[in-house]
Structure 1
Amino acid sequence: MDFSAWNNFAIYLQIFLYFLRLYVEGHVCPRCFCCANGSDCRETDGLCYGNCMQGYFGSFCNQHCGYNCLECDKYSGCTLCKEGHHGDTCDLCKEGYYPMGKECLKCPGNCITCLSFEKCHSCMDGMFGNSCQYNCSACINGDCDVKSPSCQCHLKFSGTLCDTCSSGFYGDKCENNCSFGCLNTCDSKTGECLCNQHFSGKKCDECASGYFGISCGSKCLKSCATCLESNTCTTCLPGRYGDACQMSCSFGCVNNTCTADGMCACKQNFTGENCDTCISGHYGLSCNLSCSAYCINCSSLQECHSCETGFFVKNGTCLKVNVPDAKPLSEEGHSVNVIVICSLVAIFVISIIVGLTFFCVKQRGKIYLHPAGPPRGIKIDDIISIYNISSDVGKSSEIEFHQDDGYSTLDKKHLDSK
């Protein structure tokens, strides 16, 4: 086997691959390699006497015409480029086209110039946007700039169409500031946000439970849920009430909850505005224990303080009023004894009133005189004149006197009425 022939072949193959790589990567032809006819090349410097291979130009045929060249002259280079290309080697894109690899592609419809299909550099009049897809009439809260091309937003507005609020603002017209308590910015429509420490609420515009102040950095009193100042609570923790939440709700309050003045809905067997009293017939911390029979107020089974009608307290229990041991007006006496005494007093008073009334009626028509005794022979006209007796009494010819208890009384008798 002739190994020398194989060695020569290998050498030529390596040289061919080397020049092929140079052709593909750098478009540079080695000396005389790109001449149309290898025999028309000057070996000393590679000058081509004839034409160049297709796709190359220059005196030495070592310059590439370009991938996008349709016609190429040996001396002047490319004379006709593909659509959208220009330049000596057709490697530049015309206005309205953008490069994509080795090709120049057309920009979107309303673009004048672009960097890519999604990024226009300038738009036709009346248009704006990354692809010049928006009409300037959509730029309500800004100024339309076709050269940018963008909607230059007014203060507080942002977005491609200036239809959203800038960071820190919200509302239909972006007129509201996001709360100081927002961690970052807030929702441009609702103002809701994530809260900083010690803030709460959907908009983070309230202090978290137990804190107050502009920055919600000051702590409320221990019993306060919310407060305006360190000693002025607005709401209390469950089970507390008062200006400083210093008081506890009654044990009888449902769910251990009461109003600012301690009033609440009562648990079973409790009563009163503050539910701090057992209903009639019950006692104990939970008012779940029943008093003894007929007792309506007690502190234990052996300590009854008041009984039902018809019973009285004796030795801490309720007994009927008619039992022998019942003593009127005693410490354990029932109200019946009081009723009897009151009745006797009433009878006594009525008797006095009746007696006085009878006495007054009996004394009507008498005139009391001095104890020295009644005068004799006094005429009725004199009596009428002296004692100013009304003239309708009539005239009497004689007056009769009587002695009662040392006083003289004058009875008027009509003896000769005419």
Structure 2
Amino acid sequence: MTRLVSVILVLICQNGLSIQTCRECVCCRDGTNNCDSNRNCVYGCIDGYYGSKCTAECLENCKTCVNSFGCTECKPGYFTYECNLSCGNGCLNNTCSVLSGECPCKSTNFVHGKCDACSGLMYGDECNYSCPSNCGNCISDTECEWCKNTIYHGSYCQYRCSVGCIGGRCDKRNGHCTAGCNPGFIGDKCDTCSPGLYAPYCDLNCKENCKACFGATNCTACKSGFYGETCTNTCPFGCKGNCSFADGRCLECKLGLFGEFCNITCKDGTYGEDCSELCRNKDVNCQVCTLNELGGYGGCTQCHRGYHPVIFNNYNHSICKSCPKNCNGNICDNAGLCEDGCVRGKWGDTCTDNCKPNCVECNQRDGKCFQCTNDTFSDDCLQKCSANCNMTDNDRVCARDTGTCLHGCNTVEKYGEYCDNQCSNACINKSCIWKTGQCLEGCEMDFYGLFCNNSCSNSCLSHTSKRTCDGIKGHCSFGCKAGFHGKRCDNICSSLCVNTTCNQTTAECLYGCIDGFKGPKCAEADLKGYYTRSTLIGSTIGTFLAGGIIVGIAALITFIVWRRRNIQTKQLEVHGYENTIGPCGNLSYDDTHENDSPVTYEDLKSRDERLYSQITTSQQETPPATDYVNYSS
């Protein structure tokens, strides 16, 4: 037992599971028997322990040692004198030099030497993943340590430095040019052209009045006093300084002027130096007018409903013109475009285009129909509704988008979404519900079901001028023909029933079972009634015949016995013997008389008794007539 405990302790120590020093002799190499009389280990210690008695434990990662502050060999994966540094992840078999940490690498993806870093453009614990293409070195696929040639920026060097950076170089973190901008560029990233320049290298001049541009005809900002994409439009004279680049609205008005374009000096409907002039006197449909450069009538800027301002060739100012006649509600904007849609049958910005034929109303933008004439459908209203669809006053015949009938079919003999299906001929008057096809007035004679598509069973009893079965479930109205049962009389009575006849509801045999079976439905074998009626009749006749034969034989035997007795009696009388009748009715002879002749009577008697016994046995083997009666019925 002590030896077993010692072995267990050695194993615990060898596997690094012990939290205490080993006892004397327990941790000796090659077992406890290698300990001398002084309890010193003869062949040294097991891994992890030192001392003459192997009771002291080495440093944590030491495999072997001779003292408490240094190792002679490290456990796999560690190096240095104290075994306190890990070998590189790429070391083959996780083993490295105890002094330098160098090792052969498990693959060429690691840096030769300590195999603790990835070589080339690889990353990962096993250095088996490639860095993003623009990385000089990386930690992962989304984080580069630095970018190639410093001409990229972003977390994984996904962006190229601006062409405006001197030398094309920028800071990896934010893309700011590290050496400044090339001529013609401005901004931290040198990605914007200097005012008045454009093109990829900011070396072309914008148009005359452009302050900044994307191209020869695409200004992004204008010099003071101009607006528009090409900066060729002059801001209104009432603007103080600049106006909106998009539409010329004044950012600030000169003294005494107001309005979006700084062209109004009077309240709506008036103009002039003292605002005494009425706009309507110049244009009856003008609601708001403006001044010209000389302070006179400058034209209408806002018209009454149904009109919009427009400049004609023979006018130097705007006048009010009627909105396009097909604008819905006669409403249009200042540009003369219909704002509230078109009247029916028209489409387009000015509602001058006609909707397609059969199209009552169409989309103002693209002309697609969303209301067709009553008998057409589809986006272009060119498809006809089914001729079988029911028509109603002022209502559509079919759905505009699908063409399905909206108000049923125009005849009760049709059904379906498009009224293109024929009702069943078995429906009364061939009429059915238009949505489902179910018969509307029930079924014709000898048919049943919601769709009258089932025939009554041929096994149903019929009745003159009346339905053979009900029109819903097909149940026979007057019962079943002989030999059938069930609500629809579609089940055949058991062939074990007499005359194959049974109860229509329960299927029980009405006249009993054929020979050899019993039970309400004659489904059970009748072992007692093995003999059939024909067998019973035959057996009865046989019994009577056998009985007659036996009686005849008995009479014949009786006659023979009687005759022989008479002959024997006479013979005895002749010879002087006395005879008596015994208790069994047999002849009894006096022993005093000596009979030297054969006793033929006894021989005859014995033979007759054997014959009688055989006949009786034959009668007992034939069953009595009562055994043929089938009580199971």
Give the TM-score normalised by structure 1: 0.32
Higher relative contact order (CA 8 A, sep 6+): 1
Structure number having the greater strand percentage:
1
Give the TM-score normalised by structure 2: 0.23
